Structure 1
């Protein structure tokens, strides 16, 4: 699934993304670390993997979207 990086805190390695429908979804350090990223800037397109649905949706991996 694709999304857009919305917030990112480099100290905690956590933040949030906006799905294409505008829904915000938070991610934590393990999801960030799983993608092998070092930095994330708001506005970057990302690819995410999630578990759960609705309010229980949780990001398990976040990485940069490449074409």
Structure 2
């Protein structure tokens, strides 16, 4: 699934994103890929969920 970062708190490394389907999702710091140090509002990301919560957030890389 893909989406866009809506909010990001650098101190907690958690935030909220909006999927391409328009669904808002909260993400915890534990879901961020290891290489992510900061996200900016509007940044595109890949999202994995377990059906109810975000399990992985990775930075979108256009090829």
**Structure 2 residue ranges without an equivalent (≥5):** none
Length-normalised TM-score, structure 1 = 0.85
SS in 2 for 1:47: strand
4+ aligned runs moved over 3 Å, structure 1: none
Partners of 1:17 and 1:26 lie apart in 2 by 6
Q: How many residues align?
A: 61
Question: CA deviation digits over 1:9-67, x for unaligned, max 9?
Answer: 001110011011211000001002xx120000010000011102xxxx21111011112
1:24 equivalent in structure 2 = 24
Pair 1:62 & 2:61 matched:
no
Length-normalised TM-score, structure 2 = 0.90
**Structure 1 residue ranges without an equivalent (≥5):** none
